[in-house]
Amino acid sequence: MARRIQFEEELCTNCHLCMMYCSITFSKDGIFEYRPSASRIRVSENEPSGLYIAHVCLQCPVPACMDVCPTEAISMDATTGVVVIEELECTGCEECIEACEYGCIFMYGETAIKCEVCDNPLCVQACATQALQVVDNEEIEVQQHLYRENRL
């Protein structure tokens, strides 16, 4: 069963530390910098509730993004069950973004990116309110509903 990062809307304070630490994790050439566009997690406001939502990949058991990728750049790791994007294979067609009904895949330059659940995710460590937690991918219905309603 795949691990994923679970988000608790009621605990999010919109501090964006998760985005900052995620982008630092994916810094290039040893230069650590905050680049929101490099973050594999994105925070937005939930208009009806006034709360915030951290959009992070749900690691769907049957990923629509993988099915539509024309270059097969998206696959599911056979060992971990985590859905990954091979960035060198991605052509930037954005079909995966359209296919993800939860708004959890983003463009970074010419490449699609998404959360691939780091071994010890800095986004989770940085969250002072514990709105983010690494969990086994058992129940995703609540998060699916939240993301469907607030697709980026």
pLDDT of res. 57: 93
CATH code for the domain of 139: 3.30.70.20
Reported as half-sphere exposure (CB side, CA atoms, 13 A), residue 54 has a value of: 31
Average pLDDT for runs of 10 along the chain of length 152: 84 94 86 86 85 90 96 94 95 97 94 95 95 79 60 56
| Percentage helix, strand, coil for the chain under 3-state DSSP, each rounded to 5 | 25, 20, 55
Query: In the prediction, which pLDDT does 51 show?
Result: 85
146: buried, middle or exposed (CB in 10 Å: 19+, 13-18, 0-12)? middle
pLDDT at 150: 61
Total domains present in the chain? 1
Per-residue pLDDT, 127: 96
From residue 104, give the alpha-carbon distance in Å to each of 33, 67, 112, 124, 128. 22, 16, 10, 17, 22
The CB density around residue 110, as the number of other CB atoms within 10 Å, is: 10
Which structural domain, as residue segments, surrounds residue 78? 3-149
